[in-house]
Copies of this chain bind each other. A is one copy, B any other.
Amino acid sequence: MSDRTAPRSGRLLVRGCDVLRVPPAGECEILPARDIVVADGVIEDVRPTGDHNPSVKAADVIDGRGLLAVPGLVNAHTHSPMVLMRGAAEDVSVEGWFNDRVWPMESNLTAADVRHGARLACAEMIRSGVTTFADHYFFPEQIAEAVAETGLRADIAPTYFSSGGAEALEAGVRFAETWHSRAGGRLTVSLGPHAPYTVDDADLRTLAGHARRLGLRVHIHAAEHLEQTRSSVERRGITPIRLLYETGVLDAGALIAHGCGIVEQDLPLLAEHAGTTAVACCPKVYLKHALSPLTPVRELLDAGVTVAVGTDGAAGHNTLDVWEALRLLALTQKQAVRDATWMTVSDTLRLALRGGARALGLQDRIGALEPGMRADIVLTDLSGLHCRPLHDQRAALVYSARAADVRTVVVDGRVLMRDGRLLTVDVPALLEEADARAARIVDTSHGRAVQHYDP
In the complex, the answer to whether B335 meets A286 with C-beta atoms within 8 Å is: yes
Chain B residues with CB under 8 Å of A111's CB are: none
In the complex, the answer to whether A395 meets B337 with C-beta atoms within 8 Å is: no
How long is the Cα–Cα vector from A251 to B396 in the complex, in angstroms?
Answer: 41
In the complex, the answer to whether B287 meets A335 with C-beta atoms within 8 Å is: yes
Chain B residues with CB under 8 Å of A427's CB are: 385
Q: Is A404 an interface residue (CB 8 A)?
A: yes
In the complex, the answer to whether A399 meets B90 with C-beta atoms within 8 Å is: yes
How many copies altogether? 2
Q: Is A345 an interface residue (CB 8 A)?
A: yes
In the complex, the answer to whether A290 meets B86 with C-beta atoms within 8 Å is: no
Give the residue of B87, B291, B344, B437 whose beta carbon is less than 8 angstroms from that of A90: B344
Q: Is A358 an interface residue (CB 8 A)?
A: no
Chain B residues with CB under 8 Å of A319's CB are: 386, 399-400
Chain B CB within 10 A, most for which of A318, A386, A438 = A386
Q: Is A421 an interface residue (CB 8 A)?
A: no
In the complex, the answer to whether B392 meets A87 with C-beta atoms within 8 Å is: yes
How long is the Cα–Cα vector from A179 to B144 in the complex, in angstroms?
Answer: 63
User: Assuming A85-B391, A391-B85, is B385 touching A345 (CB within 8 A)?
Assistant: no
Query: Distance in Å from the Cβ of A441 to the closest Cβ of chain B?
Result: 8
Chain B residues with CB under 8 Å of A287's CB are: 331-332, 334-335
Chain A residues close to B by CB (< 8 Å)? 83-88, 90-94, 96-97, 120, 123-124, 127-128, 284, 286-292, 318-321, 328, 330-332, 334-335, 337-342, 344-345, 383, 385-392, 395-396, 399-400, 402-404, 427, 431, 434-435, 437-438, 442
